[in-house]
């Protein structure tokens, strides 16, 4: 049986500790902030102990040894370790707010800096530069609008999918709150008929039957669904051959309540017979 290794990286303040708790709950042996140079000896030791499910969190606290990590992970994958890389991210405003509210010091901040807010913004920007390579190689999870319990649930859902299969994530979002950070593909459906302007539908969502019936009668909605599905059917086999573990398809409308939610639900159901599918509704998770 192959060793399963989940490597959690990401921006400081994005929820890595919460993700590690989710993995611990799922039966993984978890280590936070393991220096990259100790990764291979640690995996070898755990292999001797027959530990088959391991999760490690790494970030900029690793300092100068962090650039070694991509090459080390590539080497472990070549040796048969079943590897998943997850990168947690949030928009800058959210990260700065979280640090300000908790009064924690950013790992890259220098003590005694006169303008604390400006220093924090510079530290976040520097961290993005240092982690850019890892971000590119990992499955991205945007935690900007997620409560801790929601992040816990989503990480557990991601990990429950077999690593040997490509997992397709459909996600709805509201353009008025910004494009989600974790999308591989983004489809804008704001031009479609909007249930918001129907008084009896305004308070409902794209998962409620009256909205489903309304949108199901719109030829433009059916055409959009058909074209998104055709695009994904064309490219998913290619992405799977490229050894992608996850593909996130984000669908956005103005408020993230009706049209995008409806299409995510329809497409997830449509593709679930061919691929492992998950669905997320960013705005419906907000209270």
CB of 177 closer than 8 Å to CB of 256: yes
CB of 57 closer than 8 Å to CB of 9: yes
Q: Which residues lie below 8 Å from residue 20, measured CB to CB, with a gap of 6+? A: 8, 30, 32, 55, 57
* CB atoms near residue 197 (< 10 Å): 8
**Residue 100 annotated in ligand binding:** no
Length of the chain: 287
**Residue 156 annotated in ligand binding:** no
**Residue 109 annotated in ligand binding:** no
**Residue 10 annotated in ligand binding:** yes
**Residue 59 annotated in ligand binding:** yes
Cα–Cα nearest to 140, from 211, 176, 89: 89
**Residue 17 annotated in ligand binding:** yes
CB of 10 closer than 8 Å to CB of 32: no
| Dihedral over alpha carbons 153, 140, 77, 74 (to 10 degrees) | -150
CB of 114 closer than 8 Å to CB of 164: no
Residue 257: in which H helix or E strand, if any? none
Sheet holding 53-57, edge to edge: 29-32, 53-57, 4-10, 82-89, 139-142
**Residue 11 annotated in ligand binding:** yes
Cα–Cα nearest to 180, from 237, 141, 151, 217: 141
**Residue 14 annotated in ligand binding:** yes
**Residue 164 annotated in ligand binding:** no
**Residue 12 annotated in ligand binding:** yes
CB of 145 closer than 8 Å to CB of 177: yes
CA–CA gap between residue 212 and residue 198 (Å, rounded): 13
Annotated binding site for GTP: 59-62
Annotated binding site: 10-17, 59-62
Annotated binding site for ATP: 10-17
């Amino acid at each position: 049986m192959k060793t399963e290794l989940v490597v959690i990286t990401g921006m400081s303040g994005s929820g890595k500790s919460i993700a590690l708790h989710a993995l611990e709950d799922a039966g993984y042996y978890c280590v936070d902030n393991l220096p990259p140079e100790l990764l291979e000896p640690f995996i070898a030791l755990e292999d001797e102990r027959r530990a088959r499910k391991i999760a490690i969190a790494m970030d900029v606290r690793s300092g100068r040894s962090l650039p070694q990590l991509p090459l080390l992970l590539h080497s472990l994958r070549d040796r048969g370790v079943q590897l998943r890389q997850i990168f947690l991210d949030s928009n800058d405003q959210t990260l700065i707010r979280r640090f300000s509210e908790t009064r924690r010091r950013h790992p890259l901040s220098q003590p005694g800096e006169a303008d604390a807010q400006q220093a924090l913004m510079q530290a976040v920007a520097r961290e993005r530069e240092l982690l850019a390579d890892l971000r590119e190689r990992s499955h991205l999870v945007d935690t900007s609008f997620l409560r801790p319990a929601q992040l816990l649930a989503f990480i557990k859902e991601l990990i429950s999918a077999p690593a040997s299969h490509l997992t397709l994530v459909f996600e709805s979002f509201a353009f008025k709150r910004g494009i989600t950070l974790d999308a591989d593909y983004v489809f804008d459906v704001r031009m479609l008929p909007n249930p918001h302007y129907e008084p009896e539908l305004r308070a409902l969502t794209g998962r409620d039957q009256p909205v489903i019936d309304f949108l199901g009668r719109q030829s433009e909605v059916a055409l959009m669904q058909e074209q998104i599905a055709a695009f994904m059917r064309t490219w998913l086999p290619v992405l799977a051959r490229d050894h992608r573990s996850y593909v996130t398809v984000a669908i956005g409308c103005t408020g993230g309540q009706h049209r995008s939610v409806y299409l995510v639900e329809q497409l997830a159901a449509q593709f679930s017979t061919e691929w492992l599918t998950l669905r997320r509704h960013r705005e419906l998770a907000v209270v």
